[in-house]
Amino acid sequence: MKDFVRAAMTCIKSACIQFFIGFSGHKTTLSDLYSRKHYLETARNHFRTAIDAKVKRNANFSTTELEGHMRTISLQMRVIDQLHKAAATNNTLNKPVPVTSMGDSGVQPSTLFGNGAVRGEVAAHLLISCQESPEAVFQIASDIISAYRLPSSKVFTEVSKQLAMKENYVGIRVLVQSIQKSHLMSPELNDEVCMAAIKVLATQTKE
């Protein structure tokens, strides 16, 4: 049982830390991440095997942690797929991906294997970068927010600000409409998202 978990963790570490960081100063691109997705698939298979073995043998340990890892892997794969699709459409596959500071260790690409703040950044980046399929993208972002109990207002207001900076009015409208249709909707959230965009646009107008 421990061998399955150990193998899965090795795959996760290889795919999402060692390989995602890049080598010799090489910046990681979305094309790089997509080509390494098979490491995530292998890791997920190991976790699934461990859970199946637990059920068959009635092993005395909780599967909650394993299922949590599988959930993160599955969400990360959905994120990579969606970003890759958008980048292929916009011809930006070779553009460096956003990174997260790791202190003395330098930086590494932002993934769902980071902390809550990084996961929020991933959700926001997804919403900003993938405008071609808003419903699918918003669903993934909502799943990320729900899975890790992230503050939805912080994620959506950041997206609203970034879209306003780019004067992407269509994107702002789609974001607001998507929120209004979702289970995350509340009058307060709607107001916060709209005001975040208005403040940015007002500042830009003054300048």
**Assigned token pair, 48:** 């699934």
Question: Angle between the 37-57 and 64-90 helix axes, to the nearest 10 degrees?
Answer: 160
Q: What are phi and psi of 29, to 5 degrees?
A: -105, 170
The single residue listed with the structure tokens 């919403």 is 127
Give the pLDDT of residue 107: 63
SS3 164: helix
CA distance 86 to 92: 8
Q: Are 145 and 183 in contact (CB under 8 A)?
A: no
Give the pLDDT of residue 24: 44
SS3 108: strand
Helices (H), the chain: 2-13, 19-21, 30-35, 37-57, 64-90, 116-129, 134-147, 152-165, 169-181, 187-206
Residue 161's CB is within 10 A of a number of other CB atoms, namely 19
DSSP state of 42: H
pTM, two decimals, is 0.84
Give the pLDDT of residue 199: 93
Rounded (5°) CA angle 94-98-104: 120
**Assigned token pair, 153:** 């207002």
CA distance 58 to 89: 48
Mean pLDDT in runs of 10 for the chain (207 residues)?
61 55 62 84 80 63 75 92 90 79 59 89 92 90 95 95 94 92 84 93 77
Q: Are 126 and 137 in contact (CB under 8 A)?
A: yes
